[in-house]
């Protein structure tokens, strides 16, 4: 048929978004593209590499932070990251896993480090704080998205109104950061 890497990647993202991570299979991807499973390996070395590219695609849709104060820029970056992940089925799972493996884009991490250094943090604080913020955003988004699906599937009974208080937890970390930056 003559597909390119980008065709395969775009289809993988669509498959993830419409049917979830469980449906994003090398075999199913091949079938939907009208091609043998093994043909996918011509474009991606393995599934992990494909998932890393999918994660990058999810993160590419983030808007750039525009605010002037560092707390607002941190809020913008974290909110943008969260929204990008929640906008795609199982997006938080894919992005967090790829990040933990050390693959995929460092965009959000680099952005946070830059903002914090500009705000007066030394290199160590900037590095630790950016990772702390990312762990918070990943953890919160992953739990929210997973719980929502578990409830929708009837797999578990649980309320969710207690969950999406994303901003409050973020302010907690920002407050801790503020007390370090003003010192």
Q: Does 61 bind DNA (CB under 7 A)?
A: no
Region of 44-52, 99-107, 113-121, 133-141 interacting with DNA (CB under 7 A): 44-52
102 binds, among its own copies, DNA, none (CB under 5 to 8 A by kind): its own copies
Contact assessment for residue 87 and residue 34, using Cβ atoms and an 8 Å cutoff: no
38 interface partner picked from DNA, its own copies, none, CB below 5 to 8 A per type = DNA
Binder among 10, 11, 20, 28 for DNA (CB under 7 A): 28
Please enumerate, as own/partner, the contacts of 75-81 that have beta carbons within 8 Å and a separation of 24 or more.
75/167, 75/170, 75/174, 77/108, 77/111, 77/112, 77/115, 78/112, 78/133, 78/136, 78/137, 78/170, 79/166, 80/108, 81/108, 81/134, 81/137, 81/141
Write out the residues near its own copies by the rule CB under 8 A: 48, 96-97, 99-103, 124-125, 127-129, 131-132, 134-136, 138-140, 142-143, 146-147, 150-151, 155-156, 158, 162, 165, 168-169, 171-177, 179-180
């Amino acid at each position: 048929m003559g597909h390119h890497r980008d065709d395969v990647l775009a289809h993988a993202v669509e498959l993830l978004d419409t049917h979830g991570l469980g449906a994003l299979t090398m075999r199913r991807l091949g079938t939907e593209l009208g091609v043998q499973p093994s043909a996918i390996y011509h474009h991606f070395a393995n599934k992990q590499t494909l998932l890393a590219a999918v994660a990058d695609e999810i993160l590419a849709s983030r808007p750039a932070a525009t605010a002037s104060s560092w707390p607002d820029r941190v809020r913008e970056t974290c909110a943008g990251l969260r929204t990008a992940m929640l906008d795609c089925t199982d997006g938080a799972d894919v992005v967090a896993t790829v990040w933990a493996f050390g693959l995929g884009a460092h965009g959000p991490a680099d952005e946070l480090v830059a903002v914090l250094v500009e705000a007066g943090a030394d290199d160590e604080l900037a590095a630790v704080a950016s990772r702390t913020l990312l762990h918070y955003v990943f953890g919160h988004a992953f739990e929210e998205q997973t719980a929502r699906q578990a409830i929708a599937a009837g797999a578990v009974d649980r309320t969710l109104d207690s969950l999406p208080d994303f901003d409050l937890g973020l302010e907690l970390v920002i407050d801790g950061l503020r007390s370090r930056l003003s010192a």
